[in-house]
Every structure is written in structure tokens, then in C-alpha cells.
Amino acid sequence: MLNNKRLIIMFKGKSNSTSKRSVCIIGAGAAGICALRHFTDHVDHFNPIVCYEQIDNVGGTWNYTEQTGIDKYGLPIHSSMYRDLQSVFDTLLINPLLINSFYFYSTNLPMQVMAYPDFSWEHTQSFVHHSLVLKYLEDYAKHFNILPYISFSTRLEKLQRYNNQWKVVIKRLEDSQFETHYYDIVIIGTGRHSFPHYPPLESISKFNGNIIHSHDYRHRESFHGKRIAVIGGGPSGFDLVIELSTVASFIIFVNRGPNQFENLPINIEQLQGEIVDEFDENLIRIQMKQSGELKQFLIDCIIFATGYQFDFNCYEDIGLHLNTDDTIDGLYRHMINIQQPTMLMLGVCQRGVLPFPLYHQQILCFLKLMIGEIPMPSIEEMEQDVKEYDQLRKSLDIRDVDRHSLKPGIFHHYIDSLECFGQLKPLSKGVLKLHLDLNQIRIKNLIGYKKMTFKVTDDDYQLVSENEDGDLM
Ligand SMILES: Cc1cc2nc3c(=O)[nH]c(=O)nc-3n(C[C@H](O)[C@H](O)[C@H](O)COP(=O)(O)OP(=O)(O)OC[C@H]3O[C@@H](n4cnc5c(N)ncnc54)[C@H](O)[C@@H]3O)c2cc1C
């Protein structure tokens, strides 16, 4: 953990006489530290620059904790990270089916494509344990010397537009003191994987077994011999079914999306369908998407890997609207507050994105707008841009609820247009190419793909090995 005592509390958040603008960043996860790294390169334009972080380290969700529920300050645990499958032998003993296809919990993207463009991943390994991602983020923060700007154990309590500035109320968690500061620019990097989303299911109270959300899943120990339903085919869903297949007696993996995984362990039944809101004791019913057939299963436990929702509780009159389907109205390119363009909101785009490179490009673009290197579009231009994106989305049959979900193809289109708008150095073609291909690689080989090692160059990528021994099998 980093030492909070290093913080230089010299920043009081007022614009100073030389008319430099003050900047407040909320959250020191991958988004917040990236914003700090770039804004602190421009202290000739911005001063003070302050980042408030409620926990005592950088890295956000990559700070694994055994704890679930609430922390020592009574706040909801932020991290949704689960422990790893450390031991190959353990895995083999329990599920010999995985002999040729060890599956460790590690990143679900190769580090070479996860990394920020200006701080490369130096190791050869591609899929790494989450502790190494945390180490990478800590190293990034140290390398760019941004720790002195972070006020740890400090939580944003309220954000409001006030007299042409941002009124920021914070709470110092160690002594419960509240403070109010005013800033010219605010950057929100509070993450979007902390507040669980559950599908609305009225009869779920009739279910007798255990129910948890993937946010509270830590390890497989308590699932030995259980019959489990994992709902949701996103990264948490597919990670958990593979991990749990080593201990559970049977898993139904309810994945309504078009991507159905191949070659899964035999104790996993993959169902392309929807849960039916008719729970009964230990019974769960699934309606199959293609045939309409109703299937029912006796299970002990349901794990909802059904994603997360935004938390807007701290915000008052900020000019954005959170819809009931968890989309946000009022954001230009999913990031800039149209009515109050001195606010950048990071982490809104999800699914199929490359979070660290995305933050890097979004922040550079916003920085150029704030410095005046590129002109800020008018409100009308920004609203028109949102309309055009909506038309494109509808022509591709992307639902309103998936407005911020940028599947890889759309993500690449988004990044291209951002790079063009911000006159930015493009992300490497090799990174984008591997990112695009990875979905198919994963679908074909869900239990083996994390053993693969890739080499990524500016223009292309290569599969270097398919297993831990470095062999191309
Ligand atoms: C289980 C899991 C696995 C993942 N695997 C991958 C992967 O393999 N590859 C990948 O690229 N991405 C992965 N992700 C996505 C990951 O969320 C992003 O990569 C990225 O780390 C998000 O960074 P962030 O800064 O937006 O959010 P977070 O990491 O959530 O950071 C937000 C920070 O804001 C702080 N904060 C929140 N509210 C307040 C407040 N009111 N006041 C002060 N501070 C506050 C939090 O404490 C936290 O430190 C995974 C996510 C999860 C949950």
C-alpha cells in the first residue's frame, strides 16, 4: 500500500492569480492515474491538480480484498476482483478434464493490449495474475511521479455546479472531517464495476438456495459439489464458470448473447436463453432463445454475473441524466458533459473496449480541449454528434440499453474518430488487431486461451506460444 502521509496538502482548489485552472480528479484507478499523469505534464496551464481517492492505494478494482460487504469506514467494498486459481495441481486433481488446458484466473486481455501506450508491458507473459496488473499501475504512478497529487482515504461526498465552478465536498475518512473545495475542471474516474446490477426478478425471493453477485465472488472454496447457475456471458460469467467447473458438480451457464463458447468442460451446460421469472424452492427455469423451449434445473446457488450500474448519488445538478436502463444522457463521445464541458467522465464505455488505452486517448483529447489546442465543439455540434452515433447504432441493431457498450468493431470506429478529432497519435495497429481477433480466439478455446503468449508490434501481432512451456502446440 502506498503511504498517504506523502500527500502534499498544499492544494486548496482555488484558481490562482495567474489564471491557471484548477483540476480535481475523483478516483485513482486506471482512469484517474492516467488523467493525473497527463494533466501534471501541463502545470503551466493547470494548478492546483488534486486527486481524491477513497481507498489507500492506486489501482482501483485491481486491489483484491477478501472482504465483501462494507469496509472499515462502513463504505461498500469497491473492488470486484476475485482471487486466482493459483495451483495447477489443485486444478488437475479436481478436474482432470483440464489437464491439457489449465485455466488460471488472470486478465482476460493480454497485457500487451491492456497497457497504456506510453508505459509498455515489459514482460513476455501475456495473460497475467491480477496482482501484476496492480503492480503495473503502481509502477506507472511512481514512474510519472503523480503520488504527491493524490489524497488517499478521501471520498467524494457531493459534486455540484456552483458559480461557474465545481463545488466538491469531500470527507477525510480517517478523521471524518468534511471539506468543500471549488475547481474549474473535474474528471470523474470512479469506475463502473462496483455497484451490482441484478435483473428484475420478482419471484426470486421464492428461491431457497444461495444468491450472490459476481461482485461478491472471491473464490471457489464454498462451491464444492454444488449445482450452480451462472447468469451472464460477459467476462465475469465466463471466468467464473471455468473456475467453478473445477469444484462444482454441475453448472448451467446462461449466456443469452450470440457468442456461444466451444469445447467447455463437460460439467458445464451452456444455455442460450433467458431466466424465466418463476422461481420455486431450488428450481430455476430457462427459456431457450432459438427454440422457445422451457428447461428447468434443480440448483443450489445462483451467481449473477449480470454487470454493474452507475452510482450518481454524489451528483447534484451536474447536467447529466442517468436513465433507468443505466445509460447516461448528455455525454459527448461518451465522455464530455455537453452542458458543462469542463467535466470529463471516464469509464462510461464498456464491453469490448481496451480500458487503459481508451482512457489514455480520451484524456489526451480532453486535455487538448482544455488547453485550447483543439476547439471545443458547440453544444449543438455535440448534440448532433450524439444523434449521428445513435443512428449508426440503430442501423447496426444495437439496443438503447447497449448505448455505451462498444463491441470491438464499434470501439475501433470510436477510437479512430477520437484520434482524428483530437489529432492524437493512433493506438498501435498490432494492439487493435489482436484485440479484434481475441473474441474468436476465446470463443474457440475458452479454457486454453489464457496460456497463450503474444508478441505485439506496431503493425501486427504474433502468437508466440500456446502453453506455459513456450511451445507452439
Ligand atoms: C473482475 C474484473 C476483471 C477485469 N478484468 C479486466 C482485464 O482483464 N482487462 C482489462 O483491461 N480490464 C479488466 N477489467 C476492467 C477494469 O475495471 C478496468 O480495466 C479498469 O481497471 C477500470 O479502471 P477505473 O479507474 O475506471 O475504475 P476502478 O478501477 O474501479 O477505479 C475507480 C477508483 O475510484 C475510487 N472511487 C470510487 N468512488 C469514489 C468516491 N466517491 N470518492 C473517491 N474515490 C472514489 C475507487 O476507490 C477506485 O479506486 C476487469 C474488471 C473486473 C471487475
Q: Model confidence over 299-340: pLDDT tens digits?
A: 999 999 999 999 999 999 999 999 999 999 999 999 999 999
Q: Which residues of 455-469 are buried (b: 16+ CB within 10 A; e: fewer)?
A: bbeeeebeeebbeee
Report d(CA 72, CA 189) in Å as an integer.
Answer: 22
**CA-based nearest residue to 27, from 76, 77, 78, 68:** 78
Q: Model confidence over 40-90: pLDDT tens digits?
A: 999 999 999 999 999 999 999 999 998 999 999 999 999 988 875 333 334
Q: Model confidence over 92-146: pLDDT tens digits?
A: 444 444 433 444 457 889 999 999 999 998 888 899 889 999 999 999 999 999 9
| Distance between start and end Cα atoms, the chain | 40
For residues 431-446, give the mean pLDDT: 91
Q: Which residues line ligand 1 (CB under 6 A)?
A: 26-32, 52-55, 60-62, 78, 80-81, 107-109, 114, 155-156, 189-191, 193-194, 235-236, 314, 346-347, 355
The three-class DSSP label of residue 356 is helix
What's the pTM value of the predicted model, to 2 decimals? 0.91
**Residue 259, C-beta contacts closer than 8 angstroms, at least 6 positions apart:** 233, 439, 443
Report d(CA 227, CA 282) in Å as an integer.
Answer: 10
User: What percent of the chain is predicted at pLDDT more than 70?
Assistant: 90
Report d(CA 36, CA 49) in Å as an integer.
Answer: 8
Tell me how far the alpha carbon of residue 61 lies from the centroid of ligand 1, in angstroms: 4
Report d(CA 90, CA 288) in Å as an integer.
Answer: 35
Q: Model confidence over 280-303: pLDDT tens digits?
A: 899 999 999 989 999 999 999 999
For residues 157-186, give the mean pLDDT: 97
Is pLDDT above 80 for 6? no
**CA-based nearest residue to 158, from 181, 187, 138, 137:** 181
Pocket test for ligand 1, best of 61, 153, 178, 353 (most atoms within 8 A of CB): 61
202-304: CATH superfamily: FAD/NAD(P)-binding domain (3.50.50.60)
**Residues 433, 436, 438, 441, Cα dihedral to 10°:** -100
Tell me how far the alpha carbon of residue 347 lies from the centroid of ligand 1, in angstroms: 8
Query: What is the DSSP code (8-state) at residue 301?
Result: E
Tell me how far the alpha carbon of residue 471 lies from the centroid of ligand 1, in angstroms: 34
Tell me how far the alpha carbon of residue 381 lies from the centroid of ligand 1, in angstroms: 31
Ligand 1 atom showing the smallest separation from residue 137 Cα: 21
Tell me how far the alpha carbon of residue 203 lies from the centroid of ligand 1, in angstroms: 32
The region, left, alpha or beta by phi > 0 then psi within -120 to 50, assigned to residue 26 is: beta
Which residue, by CA, sits nearest to atom 37 of ligand 1?
190
Count CA atoms closer than 13 A to 232's CA, side-chain side: 22
Tell me how far the alpha carbon of residue 27 lies from the centroid of ligand 1, in angstroms: 9
Domain boundaries, the chain: 202-304
